[in-house]
Structure 1
Amino acid sequence: MNDIPPPVPAPARGGVSVDAVVRRLADALAPGPLCCGPGTGEIADVVIAEPGDPLDGVKGALVLAIGAREAEAAAMVTAAGAAGAVAVAVRAGDGELPAEVRAAAEGAGVTVLGLPQGLRWDRAESEIRAALAGPSGTFARDGDLFSLAQTVATLTHGVVSIEDGAHRTVAYAGSGDEADELRRRSILGRSCPEPYLELLRGLGVYQRVRSGEEVVEVDERPELGARRRLVIGINAGRRPLGTIWVQEGGRPLAAGAPDMLRGAARIAATQLVDHYFQGDAGARLASREELSHGLLTGRFEPRALAAHLGIDPAGGADVVAVDLREPDGTATAVRADARRAEAAGVMSVHAAALRDNALVVHACGQLYALLPTPGQAARPVEDDGPLVRWAEELVATLRRLTGTPAQAVVAGRAERLADIPAVKLRGHRALHLLARTPEAAVGTHSRLAPALLVRDALELIDREPRLRFPAVAALAARDREQGTDLARSLLLYLDGFGDVAAVARRLSVHPNTLRYRVRRAAALTGLDLDDPEHRLAATLQLRLELTERELADTTFPRD
């Protein structure tokens, strides 16, 4: 991998206030950090440095001054301030910051955070990055590699590191308490220790991960302080860009860990390209999201978007719609947005594991997975079983991680990219219908199509009074005035294909009582129950007239 150029730090972006980071550390640590200096500015990144290291690319960052004591710490504060850093974290000896460090902070205009002696540096960086990630504390939706690492750690139950082509750690996540000695040395030293690299080369691990999407297992090596690991290459075509490692922690890795790694590697490839070539991954991925939203909603010409999104312009896509079903009034908008960002990260990894170039888009309060199909496969799919099983696994994961009663609908296949908005719309409508059966995790458009047809018919009748059946409307009004139950009894009778015994049991009445109600309803409305058109018209009008509570005991249009 020596032909890959070294990474160049991306331009600094807006960040989080120094005060917010200090509050996060005070909440998470005991004791919290000591502070001196101005305490102002915004932190956009975290950079690890040791005495004597060049401080290039620290503008807008918080510098973790590892191994710096007193005079060395003061010198690093001065140098970091000159390089544009916002803050510097050093060790606080004996519960206070040295006088020379305080003086350097004031002189350089830099905030200094004094961290307690017992706090590991990797734990400190993890907490700081959590503060930078946003309200959720995890799953930040800024498109960076740390967000991806956190998602993979959650899905695999492991401790994750993402390395570039020079074996330097560029992102990591997972419980610091479960990290083995090898991972701690890799993070603090910013690269994989040479003895372990030599072992991996001897085992042919790097040769295997460069050749495709194979997930390679590396056994535990106690003598090197290394637990069992899985690794996959991050490749752009034939060009290797880096690797993703998942270390087994306090519990076994999830059964689906290899699939999650494959999905994550596909997502990470675009971000590592930015890492190498000075692109702003956050800005570019935001643009990709905007283009994906345009494809979903039909705002842009789809064939022109295909080249930008890396999908086959002659192909189509399967569409899966997801709603987290956030309970009304139980979460702030910020909290709901954080959960949706968390869900989008999880969904992106699952989708990328299933299909290359998969897209996940947020629209109308819901999430949509666009799963591209090549041109020759872009035809109606007869068996949606594989997608249903994928959606069931996704929903189970989302329910577990977000604590919401999430549901999904397999909306079907768009044979052409231009058909995606129409398929998205039916997924959106089917999700609304599926909400009536919260016990169902996943529905399909093909299964819900009859209910959607009736729903459309009811909406049309509601908009057009001339299409209504006035006598049936009058029957429902009469029930409300007189406290009778003729209309609902008639509807259940029609729904039950005239099975008097079964419907009477549902109503908890004698069969003769039900027969009387049906005869009385027919007499009041002029219905001819032997005429199929009368029965259909009465069923539609009754559904329009009865309230949701009155319809709760009916079977249709539940999934």
Structure 2
Amino acid sequence: MSEDLIGAGTGTGDDPALGVPGAPLARVAAVLGATVVGAGRGAGAVTVGGVIIAEPGDALGDLTGVLVLTAGVRGADAADQVGAAAGAGAAAVAVRVDTTGVPVAADEVPAAVRQCAERAGVPVLAVAAGLRWDQVETAVRGELARAAAAERGGGPRGDLYALAQTVASLTRGLVSVEDTGHRVLAYAGSADEADEPRRRSILERACAEPCLSHMREWGVYRRVRDGDEVVDVAARPELGLRRRLVVGIHAGPRPLGTLWLQEGDRPLADRSDQVLRGAARLAAPQLVDHYYLGDPDGRLRSREDLAHGLLTGRFNASALAVHLGIAPTSGASVVAVDLREEPDAGDAARRDARLAEAAGMVSVHAAAYRRNALVAQACGQIYVMLPEPADRAPAERPLLRWTNDLVTVLRGHTRTPVQAVVAGTAADLADIPVVKLRGHHGLEILARTPHRAVETHDRLVSPLMVREVLDVLDRHGGVRHPGLEALAAHDAAHGTELARSLLRYLDAFGEVGVVAKELSVHPNTLRYRVRKAVALAGLDLDDPEHRLAAMLGLRLMNRGSGAENGAPFFPH
């Protein structure tokens, strides 16, 4: 191999994989069925940002961050190549060794190679001698592309690797995307759990012919070409084949490819078939670009921007509908989702990444539920827009079921108390921002009760009405009840809880036993507090207007203390 060729692929301008954090060496090893020796425990933290094939005698330039494949030698004869690559700064060196199986056993690596690796402080990737270096290089570049996709961030962005990772996270399986020529375009999932047909497809970047023959014989490809049926392919242990689900990716009647899901060491998650169907719909525009050499990243980011414009009302809704492939006369149901992550839980970049990952999961579920669903982020929340035909009223019960399923999935993956509000249906697309605002306000109300996962805007109308009344009173600072202000001042001066006790008493319709238990006081103590509060504030609780004024006034003062409807009531 020429010196010029060795130099290519090590500069950031020539190798698009460089300049990113890189692919973990441990993952590369798992994909190849290789083992890592040398460099001690630190080998597990090594990443590679590029890959080259080098032969004995090649002049090696700066190989910082590069995995070097030692061509022309194998076993103990590769020791000198290991030392030369280490001297050039290589991140790791791959050596082919004779082995009895895959993965390669550490004791099958010649002692000369292990000793050289330890002296040079460079990890050695021991690869089965039966693998060709071009196969290894292809697999490594696939991992570099996967790592680059992960660095850009998951979520509904148009990157097939990011979409594959989202599906793998949701289903607990191993995912791959193939075009109609059975070439592997993207993949995700634990390499350690891959069966032999999948391992070969990743290494060769194409489905292996024996597996193809079986799938054709079983009628799998015929079934996925005919529609969006998710085909369940049973495990065939005698063929080394684990269970798989597969669905076709289509643009109208035209097949574009297939989306595969292999079962790993654990059973696939419930509703994995629905996840797969939604992901196939999201993958279709990207495969269109694959065939017609378009710009999937740019086009799908533009679609996200348009969806955000529809949500916020920045652009003409009818014009946006044309670009988004939605009938301009459509309405749309809106679902608002909040992850409820703690504000101080990590830095802003981490929160943004988690939100993007969650938005990707929401996109997959939404696409499975409704083909033309749109997902956008706003105000640190996620909004789903589900276009509805103008002549058909949406069914609330299925939408509630879907929203509950979605929140259950998100809670499981984010480990946060995710909540969602079914905000309602906009009569036409131009009204979506109004409905979005209902969802936003509904989430603020729902935050008071973390145990409630999902609510509808209609069921939150009462607290929302009270909130609007309080907003009006808040804007008119002169509307205050002097007796209640005197009551709050008394509590602050004497460390009592008369105001809080009075509001809880009014909220509970005078049920002394319930409120006394809540406040951990004797019922007679509560009665005394209420009598004293009424006397200090000058209230007549037999008068309904006095009761209403007291409830609104106390809530307004509680809001000013920063704890609307919650304890502690007032600072004291």
1:26 and 1:32 in contact (8 A); partners too = no
- 1:20 aligned onto 2:21: yes
Distance 1:398 1:99, change over 3 A: closer
- 1:391 aligned onto 2:399: no
Matches within 5 A, 1:290-369: 290-369=305-384
Question: What one-letter code is carried by the residue in structure 2 that aligns with 1:523?
Answer: A
Instruction: Pick the aligned partner of 2:149 from 130, 133, 144.
Output: 133
Distance 1:32 1:454, change over 3 A: farther
Equivalent residue, structure 2, for 1:118: 126
Q: Tell me, what secondary structure is at the counterpart of 2:463?
A: helix
Deviates more, 1:225-234 or 1:388-397: 388-397
1:188 Cα deviation from its structure 2 partner: 1.7
Query: 1:7-57 CA distances to partner (integer Å, 9 max, x unpaired)?
Result: xxxxx99966447327x4489874589xxxxxxxx97xxxxxxxxxxxxxx
Question: What one-letter code is carried by the residue in structure 1 that aligns with 2:401?
Answer: R
Distance 1:532 1:464, change over 3 A: same
- 1:466 aligned onto 2:478: yes
Instruction: Pick the aligned partner of 1:416 from 408, 428, 449.
Output: 428
Tell me how far apart the structure 2 counterparts of residues 498 and 14 of structure 1 sit (CA, whole Å).
74
1:70 Cα deviation from its structure 2 partner: 2.3
Distance 1:447 1:126, change over 3 A: farther
Instruction: Pick the aligned partner of 1:172 from 179, 184, 187.
Output: 187
- 1:195 aligned onto 2:207: no
1:99 Cα deviation from its structure 2 partner: 9.4
Q: Tell me, what secondary structure is at the counterpart of 2:262?
A: strand
Structure 2 portions without partners, runs of 5+: 1-12, 30-35, 40-47, 95-123, 129-135
Matches within 5 A, 1:202-217: 202-217=217-232
Tell me how far apart the structure 1 counterparts of residues 364 and 228 of structure 2 sit (CA, whole Å).
14
Tell me how far apart the structure 1 counterparts of residues 319 and 427 of structure 2 sit (CA, whole Å).
17
1:134 and 1:140 in contact (8 A); partners too = no
1:124 Cα deviation from its structure 2 partner: 4.5
- 1:90 aligned onto 2:90: no
Distance 1:16 1:131, change over 3 A: same
Tell me how far apart the structure 1 counterparts of residues 509 and 91 of structure 2 sit (CA, whole Å).
78
1:530 Cα deviation from its structure 2 partner: 2.1
Equivalent residue, structure 1, for 2:288: 273
1:89 Cα deviation from its structure 2 partner: 5.0
Equivalent residue, structure 1, for 2:452: 440
1:517 Cα deviation from its structure 2 partner: 3.1
Q: Tell me, what secondary structure is at the counterpart of 1:337?
A: helix
- 1:70 aligned onto 2:55: yes
1:168 and 1:192 in contact (8 A); partners too = yes
Equivalent residue, structure 2, for 1:220: 235
2:307 and 2:374 in contact (8 A); partners too = yes
Number of residue pairs aligned between Structure 1 and Structure 2: 499
Equivalent residue, structure 2, for 1:486: 498
Instruction: Pick the aligned partner of 1:234 from 249, 260, 263.
Output: 249
Equivalent residue, structure 2, for 1:552: 566
2:17 and 2:145 in contact (8 A); partners too = no
Q: Tell me, what secondary structure is at the counterpart of 2:386?
A: strand
Distance 1:538 1:482, change over 3 A: same
2:20 and 2:148 in contact (8 A); partners too = no
Q: Tell me, what secondary structure is at the counterpart of 1:192?
A: coil
2:150 and 2:162 in contact (8 A); partners too = no
2:93 and 2:125 in contact (8 A); partners too = no
1:74 and 1:100 in contact (8 A); partners too = no
1:343 and 1:398 in contact (8 A); partners too = yes
Q: Tell me, what secondary structure is at the counterpart of 2:332?
A: strand
Query: 1:516-557 CA distances to partner (integer Å, 9 max, x unpaired)?
Result: 4333333333323222222111101001113456943599xx
1:70 and 1:101 in contact (8 A); partners too = no
1:90 and 1:112 in contact (8 A); partners too = no
Q: Tell me, what secondary structure is at the counterpart of 1:330?
A: coil
- 1:283 aligned onto 2:284: no
Equivalent residue, structure 1, for 2:167: 152
Question: What one-letter code is carried by the residue in structure 2 that aligns with 1:133?
Answer: A
Equivalent residue, structure 2, for 1:426: 438
1:254 Cα deviation from its structure 2 partner: 1.7
Instruction: Pick the aligned partner of 2:418 from 406, 421, 437.
Output: 406
Identity value in percent: 54
Question: What one-letter code is carried by the residue in structure 2 that aligns with 1:295?
Answer: L
Matches within 5 A, 1:14-53: 17-18=18-19, 20-21=21-22, 24-25=24-25, 30-31=36-37
1:135 and 1:334 in contact (8 A); partners too = no
Distance 1:544 1:146, change over 3 A: same
Equivalent residue, structure 2, for 1:502: 514
1:133 and 1:140 in contact (8 A); partners too = no
Tell me how far apart the structure 2 counterparts of residues 460 and 250 of structure 1 sit (CA, whole Å).
58
Deviates more, 1:231-240 or 1:145-154: 145-154
- 1:249 aligned onto 2:234: no
Question: TM-score, normalising length from structure 2?
Answer: 0.78
1:234 Cα deviation from its structure 2 partner: 0.2
1:356 Cα deviation from its structure 2 partner: 0.7
Distance 1:501 1:287, change over 3 A: same
Equivalent residue, structure 2, for 1:38: none
Please give the root-mean-square deviation of Cα atoms over the aligned residues, in Å: 3.6
Query: 1:305-350 CA distances to partner (integer Å, 9 max, x unpaired)?
Result: 1121122221122111111122232312221122112111111111
Deviates more, 1:432-441 or 1:257-266: 432-441
Tell me how far apart the structure 2 counterparts of residues 102 and 404 of structure 1 sit (CA, whole Å).
47
Equivalent residue, structure 2, for 1:36: none
Tell me how far apart the structure 2 counterparts of residues 455 and 96 of structure 1 sit (CA, whole Å).
75
Deviates more, 1:455-464 or 1:521-530: 521-530
Question: What one-letter code is carried by the residue in structure 2 that aligns with 1:153?
Answer: A
1:450 Cα deviation from its structure 2 partner: 1.1
Distance 1:19 1:523, change over 3 A: closer
Equivalent residue, structure 1, for 2:119: none
1:267 Cα deviation from its structure 2 partner: 0.2
1:167 Cα deviation from its structure 2 partner: 1.1
1:434 Cα deviation from its structure 2 partner: 1.7
Equivalent residue, structure 1, for 2:273: 258
Equivalent residue, structure 2, for 1:55: none
Tell me how far apart the structure 1 counterparts of residues 158 and 278 of structure 2 sit (CA, whole Å).
15
Structure 1 portions without partners, runs of 5+: 1-11, 34-41, 44-61
1:172 Cα deviation from its structure 2 partner: 0.9
Tell me how far apart the structure 2 counterparts of residues 419 and 139 of structure 1 sit (CA, whole Å).
30
Question: TM-score, normalising length from structure 1?
Answer: 0.80
Tell me how far apart the structure 2 counterparts of residues 524 and 99 of structure 1 sit (CA, whole Å).
88
Equivalent residue, structure 1, for 2:102: none
Equivalent residue, structure 2, for 1:515: 527
Question: What one-letter code is carried by the residue in structure 2 that aligns with 1:480?
Answer: A
Tell me how far apart the structure 2 counterparts of residues 98 and 141 of structure 1 sit (CA, whole Å).
44
Query: 1:226-253 CA distances to partner (integer Å, 9 max, x unpaired)?
Result: 2221110000101100000111111222
Deviates more, 1:400-409 or 1:535-544: 400-409
